[in-house]
Amino acid sequence: MKTEELTTGADRTHIATAGDDQGEPLLLLHGTGPGATGALSFQPLLPSLTAYRCIMPDLVGFGRSSHPESLPGGPGPWFARRVEATLQLLDELGLDRVHVVGHSYGARMVLELILRAPERFGRVVLVGAGGTPVKANLQKLTGFYQSPSESAMQALVDAQLSHSVLPGIDDYVRERFAVAVRPEVRRSFEAAMAPGEAMPVYDESVLAAISHAVLAVHGKDDATISPAAGLFLAEHLPHSDLHLFADCGHLLQFEVPARLGALIHEFVAAG
């Protein structure tokens, strides 16, 4: 895995890349939560995606990307800044068109991106998607910094899994906690979660305008974002497939990495 930082408008975006440098580009956008990063979120999927040029940015306000101090608090301004930086990232990489995978909050960003610049995106995969009218349960995320500790991070991750005993999950918890306690990471997360302008919600009237081929994937036991969100996307996106994984929660990439990776590979390759 290689890493670099690129100027993306007013920000710097840190990216990790893996797979085939000559393969079709596949942009992977991670979810929200203390300590989340692109590489940490998607590393379990990479063995199944070696045919693609996998590009995993840390969204603005996460990991090693910029942590702007002058941005107004509230979800809306931070969401808009992240979307703009992602489009700038494609420009900096010289990529006219990419396939895209979004997990959770990252899926919400994908919906905004394909509406704003539809010509720049090919096949679309939405995993445990946020952004629909289905409300998310974010209490574990928003409460983490009340008493941050590695055990609190373990509890946060356990709440997003159907089975907490998984290979590699302890390493993930430790690495994510180490990111989460960095002062700038905490400041950005709390600012983006502060009261303020809301993010867009993608209801049936908005989704009907999307012409992309979309694969919605959800865990049937997802307690963070109900699988009703996946069903909503499948019902209202004109060209969508839906796959529900039994006995899985919100972090599908850790619970069924080989199966999810193979599913993504097959769907993107079909385009």
Please give the order of strands across the beta sheet that includes 25-29. 2-8, 11-19, 53-57, 25-29, 98-103, 121-127, 214-219, 240-245
- CA–CA distance, 171 with 252 (Å, rounded to integer): 17
DSSP code, position 58 = P
Identify the CATH number of the domain in which residue 260 sits. 3.40.50.1820
Q: Which tokens hold the place of 139? A: 């209490």
Question: What was the pLDDT predicted at 207?
Answer: 98
Domain that holds residue 138: 2-269
Question: What was the pLDDT predicted at 219?
Answer: 98
Burial (CB count <10 Å: 0-12, 13-18, 19+), residue 271? exposed
- CA–CA distance, 43 with 235 (Å, rounded to integer): 30
> Which of 8, 37, 87 has the alpha carbon at shortest distance from 188?
37
pLDDT greater than 90 at residue 271? no
- CA–CA distance, 200 with 107 (Å, rounded to integer): 12
pTM: 0.97
pLDDT greater than 70 at residue 245? yes
- CA–CA distance, 69 with 80 (Å, rounded to integer): 15
Instruction: Indicate the number of domains in the chain.
Output: 1
What pLDDT, in 10s, does the model give residues 65-104? 999 999 999 999 999 999 999 999 999 999 999 999 999 9
Beta-strand ranges (E) seen in 112-230 are 121-127, 214-219
What pLDDT, in 10s, does the model give residues 99-137? 999 999 999 999 999 999 999 999 999 999 999 999 999
Question: What was the pLDDT predicted at 164?
Answer: 65
- Mean pLDDT, all residues of the chain: 96
User: Who contacts 118 (Cβ-Cβ below 8 Å, separation ≥6)?
Assistant: 210, 211, 212
Tokens 């002058």 appear where? 70
Q: Residue 51 is which amino acid?
A: A
Give the DSSP H/E element, type plus range, for residue 82: helix 75-93
Question: What was the pLDDT predicted at 167?
Answer: 81
